[in-house]
Each structure stands twice: as structure tokens, then as C-alpha cells.
Structure 1
Amino acid sequence: MTHDHDLPLRPTPAQTVAALAPPAGRTGGDLVVETLRGLGATTVFGLPGQHALALFDALRRSQLSYVGLRVENNAGFAADGYGRVTGEAAPLFLSTGPGALTSLPALQEAAAASAPVLAISSQVPAAGLGGGRHGHLHELRDQQASFRDVVKSVHLARTQSQIPSAIAAAWESALSAPHGPVWIEIPQDVLEAETQIPVVLAPDATPHDLPPRPELTAVAAHLLSTATRPVIVAGGGVVRSDASKKLKQLAERLNAPVVTTFGGKGAFPWHHPLSLQSWLEDRHMTDFLEEADVLLVVGSGLGELSSNYGTFAPRGRIIQIDADLGKLESNHPALGIHADARPALTALLETIEEDRPDEGAAAAVREVLGRIRARIDAQGLDAEQQLLASIREALPAASPSFWDMTILTYWAWSAFDPARPNTMHSAQGAGGLGYAFPAALGAAVADPDTPVLAVSGDGGAMYSIAELATARQHGLPVTWLIVDDGGYGILRAYMSETYEDTTGTDLARPDFAALAESFGVPGVRTTPETLAADLAAALKAPGPSVVVLPAVLKMFAPTHLSGDRSD
């Protein structure tokens, strides 16, 4: 039988005429922006460089909006933030050599967090490719090799005719589960040369679905239906696949408690009777998970943080659903189901038709959370908890927040209520500094009518300080909370616990409020007592703002050692 999709695609007469007489003055750069536009892109992030100028010249003739940042790594973080909040591929324009390499930490974070970033880089002229040095500025012997171990896929266009297909293939890869960053490389002369190739129409780049195997979901459904103590661990894959409602339906049908990983914050309602929240670094929680006879892990690899630094030793059966084949059954034996979270949870809901009886799950949740609360309260850390409460009070429920690697973020991973799915994002995937503010700028570009919060320490803030100019230039509604403790606070704590003294963790820093004002960005110093009011006012005001909180914070006592409960 012949199907419609087997028939050759025939151009219309108008398309034929347009193809035979393409507009004059177009270059390879135009082919790039035409392809992006045809795929549905609306915004490009990046930073120009000598070899990539044809890309930026083509932007001038396109309908794409351009947001330029001051450092390539920050441009990558901005694209990451845009991709996380929209679920769309975020184009990132980079130049050859140093410009491209500076984006590597951002692309590593995007890969770890499954953020769909479409990095498009220039390369030295095609005649200079091939392994040896040819004297070109910014030349690398094998530029793509620097990215192969970081991004999801690499795509090359060595001629103009290859550009549309390379970008379409990369787009499809970035948006197929698991989402992730991709790399496209085009030589300078290919971008600059005038082209006779027709205007690019909408390419076919439909992402691949990743459904579960039905025989595996049948076994999983049986195990969950007959379990005595089922528990669910919900990771970032649930958020990325927009499966939070499916997760809630399944948890209620099974009467199964749910703990969200730090990357899965918001995947399950924080105050739901079955919510274990996110206290994964607490031994009480680890013990509770170990006692489950069936543990359903959705969208998480049970990595270092989710397994309480590798101390989690499950005694029951694990069912693991993950779109990333590399994470599946990588840390614990499991019934591994290679699938995106949404279709997998849908399949389980269709198979498990009857509700499991309530066998005290909600009471068990209250008990374990009560034990954790008593332990935390005994440590005299009211100030840190009050800061999180003040942030939650000031931040509108619909507003996304982006958190750098700082002590307050470590608290937030466990103790902050994200209010809604896909609203709390941090750099815990790769753990690099400088993520919060530029990523928040990317989110603000996606929705300029909703205020966004970024949280950094003073050490991490210095990585991104140049982007105050970006925020001011584009009038982006991002409030940047900088907790100033005079150094790398979490590293200072680690060194104090492990070594005789600290080295390299105390830092000279500027007056952040005054520095913000020099960029034309309102800046204010606050106190723990006035934080909620100052943050609320800043978030309500149009455009960017900076709120500086001088404070030395403490972490709650580590509890990853068996028997060490500090209570």
C-alpha cells in the first residue's frame, strides 16, 4: 500500500519560480537565519566575533530578535534559561576558537539539565580545515572535538547547501527526549559567500517520541499495584516532559509518597499530603526510601545528590524510567524503562485502573517530615529558614527563580517551595558558578511581562556582573538577590570542616548596590528583617534591579552517614 507520506513532495509553481530566482544579496548567514525562522525560532542569543559576522549581518535582514550578552558563557546560560522555561530550542551564535570555548561550561550545564540549546559556531575558512595549523586567527586543530564530549550531538555544514539540513537535524536532536544542547559548525567563508540557494522553507525537524515498551510498563504496573510500601522519586525529567499532572494522578492512585529531586523541584505539589518535599540530604529521608518495597524513579539517574552522596542502599525493587539511556540502571539495578516521563506515566495510568487502598501513606509522610523538621529546628538555623520564607513571600507564584551555587541555594534545594512546576532552576546539573543571573535574563526574554528572580553569592555574582549592562540595555525584569558573605561561602565551609584553615575562599568585592547604579540599574542594600519588603518592591518595579543582603549563612548539619541524624 502506498501512503501519502511515501509520495514525492512537489513544489508549487510559485515555489518553483521563487527557487529559480532567489533574492540577491543573500549569504550563507541568511540560510542559517532563514532555517531557524522556518523551524519556529523567534530569538537568538550570542556574541559576535570576526569569523561569525555574516551570521549577525543576516540577523539584520531577518525577523529574529537578537539578545547579545557580554560573555559567551553567559550567553549560553541565557539560552539555557530560555530553553528551560519555554521548552523550545534556543539558538546561540558563537564565534571561532576562544569565543566558542568560553561557552563550554554553559553547554555542560545545559547537557546535565537537558536544556535544548542550539549552539551555532563559525569555523576558520574551509580551506584551512584538516588538522594542521594554517595561521588563521582563533584556529583550533579540531574545534568540534572540544564539544563532542559535552553536547548531545555535533552537526557540520561544509557547504552552503548543507546548512538547512544540518540545522534541521540539530533542532530535531535538541528537542527529542532527552532534550539537550547541540553543536553546529560552519566555516567563515561558507557563511560570508553570496548564495544562489533558494530561500529556505519550513524544514521538517519533528522531534522523535520516546514511548515505553508495553511489556515493561505492564510489569511495572503489576509491581506498583501489589506493593505494600510504594514510593516515588520524581526528577527533572518529569518537569522537562510536562508530566507533573500525570505524576500527581499516579501518586494518588497508588497512595504513594513522592519526593522530588533537586532538579525535579515543582514536579509534585509541595503541600500535598503525599509530598515528601525534597529533603534528599537527610538520613531520615534516605531511611524512608530504603524501606520502600517498590521505588518508582521517574526522570532521575539517582546521582550523587539524589542518592544522599551515594549512601542510599535500597532494599526493595526499583523501577526506573528515564529518557537518557546513559543514566538508566547506571547506579542501581532496576527494571529500566527507556522512555520519556510523560508517555511512561500515561501508560502506567492506563494500566493501573484501580486505586490502591490508603495504608497510612499520608501519616508516614507526616512522620518523616516531622522528624526532619525536629532535627533542623534543633540546630538553631532559624535565620536561614526565615530568608527562604521571605523570598517565597515576595516572589509571585508564577515567577521563575534561578539559583547559583551558593549556601542559600543548598538550603533551597531541600527547603524551598517552588509553588509551581518549572519555576525553580539551578546549576546543580554541572555545578558551575555564574548561572543564575544570565539564565534569569533568558527567562525574562521569553516572558518580559513576568518578573524573574536570580539568587547568587558574591563570589558567583562576579562571574556575571557584566550582564547588568545586558539587563539594562534590554530592560529585562530580573531582580538579582546577591547574598554577600565576603567570599566563596560554601567552599569556605567545606575547607573549614576538612582542613586546618581556608585558602582562596575570602574575596575582596565591590559595593554591589553602587556598582548596579553605575550600570543604570537600581540597587539597594537590605537586611534579613526587610528582605521580603525590599524584594517585593524590586520585583514589582519595571526593568532590572539588584538587592544586596550582607549575611554569613550556615548549612544544616550533614546527615548522609548511616546513624548520623543529629537529633
Structure 2
Amino acid sequence: MTHDHDLVLRPTEAQTAAALAPPPGRTGGDLVVETLRGLGATTVFGLPGQHALGLFDAVGRSDLRLIGLRVENNAGFAADAYGRITGEAAPLLLSTGPGALTSLAALQEAAAASAPVVAISSQVPAEGLGGGRRGHLHELRDQAASFRDVVKSVHVARTPSQIPSAVAAAWESALSAPHGPVWVEIPEDVLRAETVIPQVTGVDATPHELAPRPELTALAAHWLEHAARPVIIAGGGVVRSDASGKLRRLAERLNAPVVTTFGGKGAFPWHHPLSLQSWLEDRHMTDFLEDADVLLVVGSGLGELSSNYHTFFPGGRVIQIEADLGKLESNHAALGIHADARLALQALLETVGERGDPYAPARVQLVLAEIQARLAGQDLELEQSLLASIRSALPPRSPSFWDMTVLGYWAWSAFDAGHPNTMHSAQGAGGLGYAFPAALGAAVAEPGTPVLAVSGDGGAMYSIAELATARQHDLDVTWLIVDDGGYGILRGYMTDAFGRTTGTELTGPDFVALAESFGVPAARTTAQTLAADLKKALDTPGPSVVVLPAVLRMFAPTHQ
């Protein structure tokens, strides 16, 4: 009797011939590269360091495309965006100690946003492992421990034969729902040592499917079909799992209004009759959601921003579909369905019946009108006009990346992303300096498509070095820098809380002259000329910078 699990793949004639006659001079670094190529990688991000030179030498002898950034954290942001745009795992190559640790903030953002990044770091030579005994440069007592609380999984290879399996396991983890960053660590001597291990020609890392349990989707479908006032909150999980089409079909079948979280921008059409857009930081919207008798939350943990700073308390039944088990019912009691959003929405579509509700679009229009009426009384025409100018200049399918800046905060609520997976920000972890290096990663992922990055002057200073990267690789990124002479968001927070500011006012460079010193064309614009200047920059191949001197205001707090 033969069991399926007894079957093994027989090597092909070509694999046998390659195994018996490997090319001379191959190293542990080559095993990493061969495994990455076997898994489908074509592009890697990162920058070399002393202990990682064996890995970078192998990359240099391969057909992998290396996008070398100037700072490890920025390389991590670029890999993050590449993973978000392509849905593929993005290799991030790092050195030991300081180089590795500099990537932590980027990996935290990737974890919060479920971006698949495979970080591969060198380590001190294997004989020196174990707590500083040998005093190697860059040495940490336990380097992997520095990353274990940030990344999804940690994989360590201590011998050449462990490398293919460790890299493949990391790849599979990064792409299994929920997507996320993973960490691989290989000692310097293992990367540099010659190996007799045959070329890696057979490697599999098929991601695990996370399907919903049928009894849960059956109950959820019953609740939704018989609800009086169902509402859907669509989070980033809908975008990550490419489930926007299924979400729309379900919403239309149920006649259920849909609001997208800031991480789920573009998951539902902005101008659809059932679209509540993204006004989650507004009490009118919070009241509307609390009034739902059945609330379907898809791909969101209902964290701080998605719950209007934890002032949202559902009044009816909650169904939560979430791939991250730790986020299931973490903020609100619910019928928790641990599943990939795409598979769970498909299961609901196969079960739920039509639900008629001719008044749903009118209820949507009423709450949106209330929000607009509130904004109209706050003298915020400048901020809203800037978003309109950006939307008119940006091609419909072009990705945009927004830093933690006043205009970025506005965009969370008020910007029409246009399409799924086209608007991204650092709101997952909330660190500065995300927009420009992430936009570079997106430009690598979609060559020929213009990409927009939006930063404040404070956040821009985190990423100035990457103007060199943009120029070196001739990437189609337009960088809009809104210069208000400081950390505008923090200035507002401190003024409101303490009546004065400390540390928020910044001396900055002439961004136009600075960009031009890198060979990147730049222009200074105004609110009136922004649309035309942005369109010209976006239409021109290669990198460009547009600087807008402006002090912007947020809309009044609406979570009180």
C-alpha cells in the first residue's frame, strides 16, 4: 500500500548532472542566492557590511538585481513597498550588529502592515557565537533576540547545508497569511566558505492557506443576511489578500455600507453608493458604526486609529475576519474567524443570500454630508484643495506613499486612493521617513509607472541620502516635500497639550538646491500651481522633487 506522504520527487537527469558536477568556487553565499532564485526572487535590497561580503559577492556574480540604498532602514522601507506592490517576498540583505539593528524600525512597519520581507543578515563567525567571548566587531550577545519580538519568525543557519532549508522556511513564513517580515541569520564564515553541496535546483516554499471554519462562516452569513443595519469595516487584510473584488460583491449583495481603514485604502470604490470612504476619525462615522446591528470587520484588528482612538464601542453583533490570531477579538468581543480575508469572503459569498435595503445609499450620503458640513465650518479649504490637486495630477493607477505628516494624516481620511493597493503610509507602526524610500521600492516593482512620495520637511531629512539611490537607478519617483519648518504634527500636539512646543522647530536645507546637487530636478511650488507642477514632474521620467512651503492644519479633534 502506497501513501501520498511516502512519495518523493525523483531528480531529473539535469538535476542529477548538476549535482555531480557543481561549478567550482561556490560558497555559502551562493547557496543563499541559488535558493532565492529557486523561490522566484529577481530583485534584492540592502547594503553590504564586513560580515556580509560573502553574500554580496555571490549576488554580484548572479543575475539578481541589487538595489543598494544608503541606509539600512530605508532599504527595509523599499523592500516593504516592493512586497506590498508585488505580493511577492522581498529579500533584504543586511550586515551584522549596527547594520542589522538600523533596519528594525522598517521591519516593525512591515510587521504592522503585513508586508512580506525576507531579511537575511550576516553574523559573526560561528566560533565566536555565544555572548561576546571573542570580541568581534559588530557583535551582539544574541542578535536574533533583537529581532524576535519584531518579525514574524526567526530562522538561523549555522552550517552550509542548513541554508537552503532556512531560507525556504523563511520565505514560506513571509508569504503565509498574515504576510510579514521574517529574519534569517548566517555567520560570516559560513557565507564565505567554499561548499561541495550541489547547486540548489529543487526548492519549495508554498505558503500555507488559512481557510475559515465552515461553521463560523455559516453563522456569520446568517447574521448578515438577516441584519437590519449591517456595516462592513474593510482593513488592510483585504488589500494584502487581493480580495477587493469579493468585498464589493458581498457588500452589494447585502446592501451593506463599507468604510475602509487607513491601512485598507482603496479596498472599496471611493464613490460607490455604499462607500463611507475612510472618515474613521469622525464622531459622525463612529456613531454610524455603533448603530450597526451586525458589523463585519474584515482584515483589521480595530486598533487605535481604526477605532477613533478607542472611543468606538459596537452596539450590535461583531464578526471579525482576521489572519493574525493575536488580533482576533483583541479589542472587541466578536464572532472571530481566523482566516485569510480572500478565502473568508469567498466562503460568505457562497453562503449568504441577497438582502434588500433601498435606504442604505441614503444613509451613507447622510453621514458623509454631516462630515462635510462639519469640515466646512473649520476654514480648511487649503488642505482639501491640496489633496484635490494631488489626486488630479496623479495617474489613476500610480502608487502613492505618505509619511507621518499633516498632509498624510489628511490623506488617511480624505484622499481617494483610486484603486486597491495604490495608497500606502507608515500608519502601521508610525515611524518617520517611510514615504520616499518606500516609493523607490514601488518604482522598482513597477518600472515605467510614476510613483508619488509625500513627506514633511522633518520626515524628509530621514531620507535625503536616498536621492542618490533614486538618481543611480533612475527611478520614476516624484517626491513632494511640504516644508513647514518643523515637525508639524508634533507642533500641533504639543501646543494643544502644553500650550508651547519643545524640539519641534527645525533648521532645514534648501530642498530644491539640495535635490539638484544630487542631479535630481526640483521645483518650488504653491498651492495654486501644485497640480500643474506635480503633473509635469510625474510625466517626466526619472526622479524629481517638488517643494511646497506651507503650514497646514488638521481638522478639529472628532473623537471626543
Amino acid at match of 1:516: A
1:246 aligns with 2:234: no
The secondary structure found in structure 1 opposite 2:189 is: helix
| Residues 110 and 117 in structure 1, CA contact (< 8 A), matched pair in contact too | yes
CA deviation profile, 1:165-206 (whole Å, cap 9, x unmatched): 000000000000000000000000000001111000131100
Partner of 1:171: 171
User: CA shift at 1:429, angstroms?
Assistant: 0.2
Equivalent runs, 1:389-404 vs 2, <5 Å: 389-404=388-403
Amino acid at match of 1:242: D
Amino acid at match of 2:369: G
Partner of 2:255: 255
Amino acid at match of 1:250: L
CA deviation profile, 1:240-271 (whole Å, cap 9, x unmatched): 00000000000000000000000000000000
Please give the alpha-carbon distance, in whole angstroms, between the structure 2 residues aligned to 1:236 and 1:115. 10
Equivalent runs, 1:488-567 vs 2, <5 Å: 488-561=487-560
The secondary structure found in structure 1 opposite 2:173 is: helix
User: CA shift at 1:152, angstroms?
Assistant: 0.2
1:485 aligns with 2:484: yes
Partner of 1:111: 111
Please give the alpha-carbon distance, in whole angstroms, between the structure 1 residues aligned to 2:557 and 2:15. 66
| Residues 133 and 139 in structure 1, CA contact (< 8 A), matched pair in contact too | no
The secondary structure found in structure 2 opposite 1:546 is: strand
1:66 aligns with 2:73: no
Partner of 1:267: 267
1:8 aligns with 2:3: no
| Residues 290 and 312 in structure 1, CA contact (< 8 A), matched pair in contact too | yes
Please give the alpha-carbon distance, in whole angstroms, between the structure 1 residues aligned to 2:552 and 2:6. 64
Amino acid at match of 1:457: G
User: CA shift at 1:130, angstroms?
Assistant: 1.4
CA deviation profile, 1:207-235 (whole Å, cap 9, x unmatched): 00000000000000000011000000000
Please give the alpha-carbon distance, in whole angstroms, between the structure 2 residues aligned to 1:4 and 1:20. 29
| Residues 132 and 139 in structure 2, CA contact (< 8 A), matched pair in contact too | no
Equivalent runs, 1:90-239 vs 2, <5 Å: 90-239=90-239
The secondary structure found in structure 2 opposite 1:284 is: helix
| Residues 111 and 180 in structure 2, CA contact (< 8 A), matched pair in contact too | yes
Please give the alpha-carbon distance, in whole angstroms, between the structure 2 residues aligned to 1:128 and 1:67. 31
User: CA shift at 1:481, angstroms?
Assistant: 0.1
Partner of 2:468: 469
Please give the alpha-carbon distance, in whole angstroms, between the structure 2 residues aligned to 1:191 and 1:280. 49
Partner of 1:414: 413
Please give the alpha-carbon distance, in whole angstroms, between the structure 2 residues aligned to 1:18 and 1:341. 42
Please give the alpha-carbon distance, in whole angstroms, between the structure 2 residues aligned to 1:253 and 1:54. 56
Please give the alpha-carbon distance, in whole angstroms, between the structure 2 residues aligned to 1:70 and 1:412. 28
The secondary structure found in structure 1 opposite 2:143 is: coil
Amino acid at match of 1:108: Q
Amino acid at match of 2:133: R
Please give the alpha-carbon distance, in whole angstroms, between the structure 2 residues aligned to 1:359 and 1:2. 59
Partner of 1:325: 325
CA deviation profile, 1:482-523 (whole Å, cap 9, x unmatched): 000000000000000000310000000000011000000001
CA deviation profile, 1:59-96 (whole Å, cap 9, x unmatched): 12111100000000000000001000000000000000
User: CA shift at 1:2, angstroms?
Assistant: 3.0
| Residues 482 and 550 in structure 2, CA contact (< 8 A), matched pair in contact too | yes
The secondary structure found in structure 1 opposite 2:238 is: helix
Bigger drift between 531-540 and 202-211 goes to 202-211
Please give the alpha-carbon distance, in whole angstroms, between the structure 1 residues aligned to 2:100 and 2:150. 13
Please give the alpha-carbon distance, in whole angstroms, between the structure 2 residues aligned to 1:325 and 1:18. 43
Partner of 2:386: 387
Please give the alpha-carbon distance, in whole angstroms, between the structure 1 residues aligned to 2:203 and 2:300. 33
1:355 aligns with 2:354: yes
| Residues 452 and 477 in structure 1, CA contact (< 8 A), matched pair in contact too | yes
| Residues 450 and 539 in structure 2, CA contact (< 8 A), matched pair in contact too | yes
| Residues 39 and 202 in structure 1, CA contact (< 8 A), matched pair in contact too | no
Partner of 1:437: 436
| Residues 15 and 201 in structure 2, CA contact (< 8 A), matched pair in contact too | no
User: What TM-score do the two structures reach when normalised by structure 1?
Assistant: 0.98
User: CA shift at 1:16, angstroms?
Assistant: 2.3
Please give the alpha-carbon distance, in whole angstroms, between the structure 1 residues aligned to 2:287 and 2:238. 24
User: CA shift at 1:20, angstroms?
Assistant: 2.3
Please give the alpha-carbon distance, in whole angstroms, between the structure 2 residues aligned to 1:4 and 1:136. 49
Please give the alpha-carbon distance, in whole angstroms, between the structure 1 residues aligned to 2:399 and 2:173. 26
User: CA shift at 1:17, angstroms?
Assistant: 2.9
CA deviation profile, 1:352-375 (whole Å, cap 9, x unmatched): 1x3111241100000000000000
Gapped runs of 5+ residues in structure 2? none
User: CA shift at 1:423, angstroms?
Assistant: 0.1
| Residues 18 and 198 in structure 2, CA contact (< 8 A), matched pair in contact too | yes
User: What TM-score do the two structures reach when normalised by structure 2?
Assistant: 0.99
The secondary structure found in structure 2 opposite 1:326 is: helix
Amino acid at match of 1:491: L
| Residues 301 and 331 in structure 2, CA contact (< 8 A), matched pair in contact too | yes
Please give the alpha-carbon distance, in whole angstroms, between the structure 2 residues aligned to 1:132 and 1:365. 62
CA deviation profile, 1:409-437 (whole Å, cap 9, x unmatched): 11000000000000000000000000000
Please give the alpha-carbon distance, in whole angstroms, between the structure 2 residues aligned to 1:238 and 1:536. 30
User: CA shift at 1:9, angstroms?
Assistant: 2.0
Partner of 1:306: 306
Please give the alpha-carbon distance, in whole angstroms, between the structure 1 residues aligned to 2:167 and 2:232. 38
User: CA shift at 1:3, angstroms?
Assistant: 4.9
Please give the alpha-carbon distance, in whole angstroms, between the structure 1 residues aligned to 2:18 and 2:400. 46
The percent identity for this pair of structures is 82
Please give the alpha-carbon distance, in whole angstroms, between the structure 2 residues aligned to 1:133 and 1:555. 53
| Residues 44 and 66 in structure 2, CA contact (< 8 A), matched pair in contact too | yes
Partner of 1:565: none
Bigger drift between 200-209 and 522-531 goes to 200-209
Partner of 1:369: 368
Please give the alpha-carbon distance, in whole angstroms, between the structure 2 residues aligned to 1:357 and 1:18. 63
Please give the alpha-carbon distance, in whole angstroms, between the structure 1 residues aligned to 2:458 and 2:14. 58
Partner of 1:281: 281
Please give the alpha-carbon distance, in whole angstroms, between the structure 2 residues aligned to 1:270 and 1:6. 52
Bigger drift between 153-162 and 17-26 goes to 17-26
User: CA shift at 1:132, angstroms?
Assistant: 3.3
Please give the alpha-carbon distance, in whole angstroms, between the structure 1 residues aligned to 2:373 and 2:467. 41
Please give the alpha-carbon distance, in whole angstroms, between the structure 2 residues aligned to 1:408 and 1:63. 40
User: CA shift at 1:448, angstroms?
Assistant: 1.3
Please give the alpha-carbon distance, in whole angstroms, between the structure 2 residues aligned to 1:206 and 1:3. 21
User: CA shift at 1:11, angstroms?
Assistant: 1.7
User: CA shift at 1:530, angstroms?
Assistant: 0.1
User: CA shift at 1:392, angstroms?
Assistant: 0.1
User: CA shift at 1:5, angstroms?
Assistant: 5.4
Amino acid at match of 2:109: E
Partner of 1:339: 339
CA deviation profile, 1:374-416 (whole Å, cap 9, x unmatched): 0001101000000000000000001000000000011000000
